[in-house]
């Protein structure tokens, strides 16, 4: 009888924890590049582009450790059009009348749009932030942990990059949601 009670209690606790965790899960609502461009026609936001490859280990770590954080996912969803761009995708992307294609090179190749966004510095992971006019305002290379990543995306979202005064104000006033 005690074993049945213990098993029942463990099942109940397990289900409770599972449902609690599901309630606080927030995923990034990743868009394609084309979807972000289309959405910009009706609502102006900056565009965040995660440039990755399938073979990139640090890209996977960033997905697991950074983009999976509810604070990060919610911030990206609310303030940006978040885009996942496979730097080796084979499908063409047309933007501003230019068709960007996959270029076979070496073992894998690269997509011309990824090369253009990264200014031909193809290393991964990298992310690019575009303003509402689709102009590059930031390129950041390498894996980012959640706390510094939040600071970077907040800095650009709040237009703190436009002047030294705004940057200094941001540095003084920024409060990390990870240290609360």
Question: Tell me: the pLDDT tens digits for 133-179?
Answer: 999 999 999 999 999 999 999 999 999 999 999 999 999 999 999 98
Residue 106 scores a pLDDT above 90: no
User: In whole angstroms, what is the distance from residue 11 CA to residue 110 CA?
Assistant: 49
Q: Is residue 120 part of a domain?
A: yes
12-44, pLDDT tens digit by residue? 444 444 434 444 688 999 999 999 999 999 999
Structure confidence at residue 36 (pLDDT): 96
Number of domains in the chain: 1
57, 143 Cβ separation under 8 angstroms: no
Q: Is residue 124 part of a domain?
A: yes
126, 141 Cβ separation under 8 angstroms: yes
What is the domain range of residue 131? 28-84+113-173
Structure confidence at residue 17 (pLDDT): 43
107-128, pLDDT tens digit by residue? 889 999 999 999 999 999 999 9
Structure confidence at residue 11 (pLDDT): 42
The structure tokens 């509402």 sit at 132
Structure confidence at residue 25 (pLDDT): 82
Residue 95 scores a pLDDT above 60: yes
Q: Is residue 126 part of a domain?
A: yes
CATH number at residue 36: 3.40.30.10
Q: Is residue 20 part of a domain?
A: no
Q: Is residue 13 part of a domain?
A: no
| pTM, to two decimals | 0.84
Strand 80-86 to 46-52 pairing: parallel
Q: Is residue 99 part of a domain?
A: no
**3-state SS record for the chain:** CHHHHHHHHHHHHHHHHHHHHHHHCCCCCCECHHHHHHHHCCCCCEEEEEEECCCCHHHHHHHHHHHCCHHHHHHHHHHEEEEEEECCCCCCEEECCEEECEECCCCCCEEHHHHHHCCCCCCCCEEEEECCCCCEEEEEECCCCHHHHHHHHHHHHCCHHHCHHHHHHHHHHCCCCCCC
């Amino acid at each position: 009888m005690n074993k049945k009670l213990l098993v029942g209690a463990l099942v109940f606790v397990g289900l409770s924890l599972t449902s609690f965790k599901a309630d606080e899960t927030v995923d990034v609502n990743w868009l394609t590049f084309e979807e972000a461009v289309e959405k910009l026609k009706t609502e102006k936001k900056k565009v965040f582009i995660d440039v990755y490859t399938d073979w990139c280990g640090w890209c996977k770590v960033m997905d697991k450790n950074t983009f999976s954080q509810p604070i990060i996912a919610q911030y990206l969803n609310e303030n940006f059009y978040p885009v996942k761009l496979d730097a080796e995708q084979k499908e063409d992307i047309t933007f501003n009348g230019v068709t960007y294609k996959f270029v076979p090179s070496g073992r894998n190749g690269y997509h011309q749009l990824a090369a253009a966004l990264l200014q031909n510095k193809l290393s991964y992971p990298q992310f690019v932030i575009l303003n509402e006019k689709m102009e590059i305002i930031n390129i950041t290379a390498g894996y980012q942990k959640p706390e510094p990543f939040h600071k970077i995306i907040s800095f650009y979202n709040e237009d703190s990059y436009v002047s030294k005064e705004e940057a200094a104000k941001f540095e003084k006033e920024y409060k990390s949601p990870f240290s609360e």
